[in-house]
Structure 1
Amino acid sequence: MKKNIPFNKPYLTGNETKYIEQAVASGKISGNGVFTQKCQQFFEERYGITKTLLTTSCTDALEMCAILLNIKEGDEVIMPSYTFVSTANAFVLRGAKIVFADSRADQPNIDENSLEALITPKTKAIVVVHYAGVACEMDTIMALAKKHGIYVVEDAAQAIDSFYKRKALGSIGHLSAFSFHETKNVISGEGGLLGINDTQFIERAEIIWEKGTNRSAFFRGEIDKYGWVDVGSSFLPSEIIAAFLWAQLENLEDIQNRRKEIWNGYFTFFKESSEISLPLVPKYATNNAHMFYVLLESLKKRNEFIASYKKRGINPVFHYVSLHSSPYFKDKHDGRVLQNCDRYADTLVRMPLYYELDQEVVFN
């Protein structure tokens, strides 16, 4: 019988529908209720993020970052080319000029040593992406931002429960964004979270989150009526989504332990191969087992690798196409060769990784 191993399978802990029923029974399902507060408090207390706001997606959290930083036409934002399109779109929508940086030679994170040469008087922010949940070299990046008076946004979509020198990812930059898409460690179908570590942004973030109104302050009794005071959108998710997420967060330890077990199983299995390079986790970083990837020697070898597994009913997948070479952006790129981004685009393969995966079926 042919195997049937998907790349991803959403894992349910058991309490998702129970908490959704509680949310419905409460009579408040529109958002910013009990389950929203529980989820936000979890991130603030466990990871030391100053203030958090649940969002309908990580994309929305990134768009809030762009609004909070007052990104406007002509501002420059530096980010890796090897990332998902949402990282760039959030800032493009505000009129920013995107300046793409190359990845490191030893792993897909942004090359921190390439950044200073890209900074100009128009640079407003650096957006870092913690690829596979592994930390970028944040001390160097934060020092560079301080030196030049620019902001740092952490795209921590893949980085829940991962750390840089004992600091939680998402708690280091001025702002951060997480994802709870069904492919992530902890899920709510779609969903995200904005992290705020620079207190100057907290009050305005709540307003942007609530469609540009000071509704949150009204419900706390701080003002006697609320109205339209800034730009914004409907960024907050319903209590139904928050209730689902809370069931996942309650089981974070169990989820993480299982994913790490699978990650370590892959590492042991592939380490004897001379044709495959394994993922690097630097000493300053931890591994949250968001994904297990391997690097092949060429695009041809990668395609052959994927095809050989698919013949057996196992579905590894490649990942990003470098954004600087995408149909939308290639004519806007300044022509710099970003060789490491392109190498990862051609040679990186992600193996199936989900809670209920039976690795023996993959290996045999």
Structure 2
Amino acid sequence: MNQQPEQVRFNVPSLEGRELEHVEAAMRSGHTSSGGPFSQAAGEIIREETGGAGVLLTTSCTAALELSAMLLDLQPGDTVIVPSFTFVTTALAFARQGAKVLFCDVEPETLAVDPAHVAELMDDSVRAVVLVHYAGVAGDVSGLSDVMASRPEVALVEDAAHGLFGGWKGHPLGSLGRFSTFSFHETKNIVCGEGGALVVNDPADLDRAWVLYDKGTNRRAFMEGQVDKYSWRDTGSSFGLSDTLAGHLLGQLEARETIQAKRRRVHERYVDLLAEPCEELGVRLPVVPPASDPAYHLFHLLLPDAATRNRVMQEMREEGVQATFHYVPLHDSEGGRRFAARPTECPVTTDVSSRLLRLPFHNNLTDAEAERVTEVLLRALRR
């Protein structure tokens, strides 16, 4: 009987601090729904880290994006520029509110939004541009800012699902847009199973954000003693994160320096092991521009061509190493074509999507596991 190879899992969520203690305390407190003390404490850490006017904890990053789309009051005929190289809900959140999507291409190095393509797509229908920090690395933010400088009515929305605790020129990721969103899904740096956050950076948006967050009511004003009762005021939904999950989140946030240091170490270990052989083999490692302080969310490689990527990924999986790909381009997906304002060309997205390989990456990936991953990878590449 053939022995199964030892598995190196792609992702392993871990407990890093007082998560269980906080979850138990939340469950015993009698307040397990949203808005409790753990939600307040976790939200305050994020607010302090980003400098935002306010932070609203949500059930997912998708929900946070949907809330940002609602705050934009999108109307028929409005469009939102979204990179094609991203997760589907980056675009879906705005399509759900009735906007059409203009899919833009990404830079070939950072895989972030290409400002030149944004400039080509910009017209009077555009209400927002979504900036995705792929792998927690900021791209050409200066170039994008230059494009948007002449269109102050166009909002910048950061999808920073990968970017918590990353930075650009000393500014935290999540502080650059009118609205910014984070993810605490089990695959992210900071996790609580499922969760997210909306950072509201313009104080003028904050009161209405809380109304939409609280099912269209002014409940927050009531809780703060500003009104004697609360009632239905606006559109909205039930976005709040359970305080039980917020307890889990708080434990992770309290251990953020430890978590980020662990992830940086895994990233640097891969670079040490792979830089020289990958250069010889025509494989590109992640590119981090000098202005970017990465969040160390994932580790990806660009292989020479699609056939090599697919073969290497399959051989690694057969040897027990859970490598994977990322993002089928949105612009030529069935849903993308349905919700697009018009067809757009995104050749870089099409190319990198076919060649990108993600390696196992999590807080407690050991040196031995990283060495096994690289051995299996390099053996497959050279075969």
**TM-score bracket relative to the smaller structure:** over 0.9
2:175 pairs with 1:171: yes
Describe how 1:70-89 pairs up with structure 2 within 5 A: 70-89=73-92
Describe how 1:1-364 pairs up with structure 2 within 5 A: 2-148=5-151, 149-272=153-276, 273=278, 274-330=281-337, 333=340, 334-364=342-372
- Paired-residue identity, %: 38
Q: Which amino acid aligns with 2:288?
A: V
Retained in 1: the 8 A contact 2:102–2:344? no
Residue 236 of structure 1 aligns to a residue whose secondary structure is: coil
Retained in 1: the 8 A contact 2:331–2:344? no
**1:193 and 1:361 mapped to 2: Cα distance?**
32
**What TM-score comes out, normalization by structure 1 length?**
0.97
CA shift, 1:6, in A, is: 1.2
Provide, for residues 161-214 of structure 1, a one-character-per-residue CA deviation record: whole Å limited to 9, x for no partner. Answer: 000100001111110000000000000100000011112210000001100000
Q: Which amino acid aligns with 2:125?
A: K
**2:343 and 2:229 mapped to 1: Cα distance?**
53
Q: Which amino acid aligns with 1:236?
A: G
Residue 180 of structure 2 aligns to a residue whose secondary structure is: strand
Q: Which amino acid aligns with 1:256?
A: Q
Q: Which amino acid aligns with 1:40?
A: G
Worse overlay, 22-31 or 186-195: 22-31
CA shift, 1:331, in A, is: 5.6
CA shift, 1:14, in A, is: 4.3
Worse overlay, 103-112 or 204-213: 103-112
Provide, for residues 62-93 of structure 1, a one-character-per-residue CA deviation record: whole Å limited to 9, x for no partner. Answer: 00100101112210100100000010000000
Residue 36 of structure 1 aligns to a residue whose secondary structure is: helix
CA shift, 1:332, in A, is: 5.6
**1:164 and 1:10 mapped to 2: Cα distance?**
27
Alignment match, 2:378:
none
Residue 258 of structure 1 aligns to a residue whose secondary structure is: helix
**1:95 and 1:350 mapped to 2: Cα distance?**
34
Provide, for residues 318-350 of structure 1, a one-character-per-residue CA deviation record: whole Å limited to 9, x for no partner. Answer: 000000011222366534321100111100011
| Pair 1:87–1:332, CA change in 2 (3 A) | closer
CA shift, 1:362, in A, is: 4.1
Gaps of 5+ in 2: 373-383
**2:146 and 2:37 mapped to 1: Cα distance?**
38
* RMSD between superposed Cα atoms in Å: 1.3
Retained in 1: the 8 A contact 2:110–2:139? no
| Pair 1:225–1:109, CA change in 2 (3 A) | same
Provide, for residues 233-290 of structure 1, a one-character-per-residue CA deviation record: whole Å limited to 9, x for no partner. Answer: 0001110010000000010001110111000111121212223111100111011110
CA shift, 1:17, in A, is: 1.8
**What TM-score comes out, normalization by structure 2 length?**
0.92
Worse overlay, 64-73 or 43-52: 43-52
Worse overlay, 330-339 or 342-351: 330-339
**2:68 and 2:142 mapped to 1: Cα distance?**
21
**1:143 and 1:338 mapped to 2: Cα distance?**
21
**1:201 and 1:237 mapped to 2: Cα distance?**
20
Q: Which runs of 4+ in 1 moved over 6 A?
A: none
**1:162 and 1:337 mapped to 2: Cα distance?**
30
Retained in 1: the 8 A contact 2:100–2:339? no
Residue 240 of structure 2 aligns to a residue whose secondary structure is: coil
Worse overlay, 302-311 or 207-216: 302-311
